[in-house]
Structure 1
Amino acid sequence: MSTKWIKGALALALTGVVAGCGGPVDGKPTTGGPSSDSATPDDLHGAPNIANPLKVDKFIKHPCAVISDQQKESLTSSIQLPSTGKESAIEGLSNDCQWSGGGNNATVGLQFLQGGGGLSYIYAQRKELPVFEERPPIEGYPVLHEAQNKELPGDCRLVVGVSNHQAIVASYTGGTGDVEPCDAATKLATAAVQTLKAAS
């Protein structure tokens, strides 16, 4: 996950505070349901409005937990997901989970971003991105295939908006096998959204 992406998202969130559109309070990202997730069309920069936001609070510090053992077993079969994920924090702004060392040498990642504008941040810079592709929704939630830099063969990063100010990033990078990278990222993101819907 690019730190440029994270820093840019944080900057947008701080702009939202000045404008009174929600964002970090006392230095901490905001979370919550529809009442705190409202956004005007200008705030969204063309991104779809998410009428039924999902809560990520339960998983935000431990993103590996959003993939259940049953889901992991299925993903191990379909995308060769390694059995153990490793969690890490990026500059204190977000936590991510990475699985690596599978049979096709890919690194599979899942990350939650808070207070960064969600999909609206990406829509705001769409003209500058080498990859910007709207894809079919996952479980009713909008999906973007995007990249900050030129995308390499075997790589795919999908961003799923789970509220107007929060998003999941599912990535598949460096794969050398016959697994289609965006198909793998879609399956990972689908499992994550299903877990969030069940917990919301």
Structure 2
Amino acid sequence: MPNVLRNRAAAAALVLVSVAVAGCAGENPGTPSPGTGSAPSSASSVAPEDPNVPKVAIPLDASAYAGDACKLLPAAAAAELGFTEPGEPSSESSNPSCGWFIKGKADTLQIILGSGNREKGMGGLAGMHKAKEAGQLRFLEPGPEVDGYPTVYYGIQDRRARGNCDLAVGVADDLTINTLAGGYDNEQDSCGTAQKLASAVIKTLKGA
């Protein structure tokens, strides 16, 4: 894939969580936080105050992946989604991320582990709602449950009709893992892929 396309895809994905959500906690997006997400947190540590924010019944521990978010999507699971090249990690913010690309195509995947947001007290779906209230996110809409875990669609704007889907799945009350699918022809393909990506991540966390 040409570098300009890869950079555009990565920038479009990163701006939504690494800058927007973390930014409302005063984060400098280009400065990773040492030890981000190194310690697991209990489900009740950041309990959602908004009754409209669903609680996570069975929290998942993602602390082992804070050093390498690419490991959240095994190669076999990536191949099932059409991505055979290894993921490319990024540490441009305190929220570790990994992106996948297909040579010669616009299709992209990205996983963002919101451990930096958690440490700043802005984690979980509750943090997404706080970011919306603060104006950092202009679009936030409930999504379908994925393997029993609640989700939201989010962004600075709703990009789904243009084939770019940004999904955040609450794996604990204070932690989201965001799965982004871009470069597709329509909303159905991009959001379907984002949901499949979220399901693959949940299976990894469960050790399935």
TM-score, length-normalised on structure 1?
0.76
Equivalent residue number for residue 169 of structure 2 = 160
- Is 1:45–1:123's contact at 8 Å kept on the other side of the alignment? no
Distance 1:50 1:196 in 2: 14
- The residue identity in structure 1 corresponding to 2:76 is Q
- Is 2:56–2:173's contact at 8 Å kept on the other side of the alignment? yes
Distance 1:134 1:46 in 2: 10
1:90 deviation in Å? 2.2
2:179 is paired with a residue whose SS is strand
Distance 1:74 1:139 in 2: 18
1:28 deviation in Å? 5.3
- Is 1:5–1:148's contact at 8 Å kept on the other side of the alignment? no
Distance 2:102 2:186 in 1: 13
- Is 2:143–2:151's contact at 8 Å kept on the other side of the alignment? yes
Instruction: Work out which of the residue numbers 83, 86, 91 in structure 2 matches 1:84.
Output: 86
Distance 1:61 1:154 in 2: 30
TM-score, length-normalised on structure 2?
0.73
Is 1:94 equivalent to 2:95 in the alignment? Answer: yes
- The residue identity in structure 1 corresponding to 2:147 is E
- Is 2:47–2:174's contact at 8 Å kept on the other side of the alignment? no
- The residue identity in structure 2 corresponding to 1:198 is G
1:59 deviation in Å? 1.1
Q: CA RMSD in A?
A: 2.8
1:167 is paired with a residue whose SS is strand
Is 1:107 equivalent to 2:108 in the alignment? Answer: yes
1:90 is paired with a residue whose SS is coil
Equivalent residue number for residue 64 of structure 2 = 58
Equivalent residue number for residue 18 of structure 1 = none
Distance 1:89 1:45 in 2: 33
Aligned pairs (5 A) from 1:7-156: 7-8=23-24, 10-11=25-26, 29=37, 31-34=39-42, 37-42=44-49, 46-76=52-82, 81-91=83-93, 93-102=94-103, 104-114=105-115, 115=118, 116-126=122-132, 128=135, 129-151=137-159, 153-156=162-165
- Is 1:135–1:145's contact at 8 Å kept on the other side of the alignment? yes
Distance 1:156 1:166 in 2: 19
Counting aligned pairs with the same residue, the percent is 24
- The residue identity in structure 2 corresponding to 1:4 is A
- The residue identity in structure 2 corresponding to 1:108 is L
- 5+ residue gaps, structure 1: 13-25
- 5+ residue gaps, structure 2: 1-13, 28-33
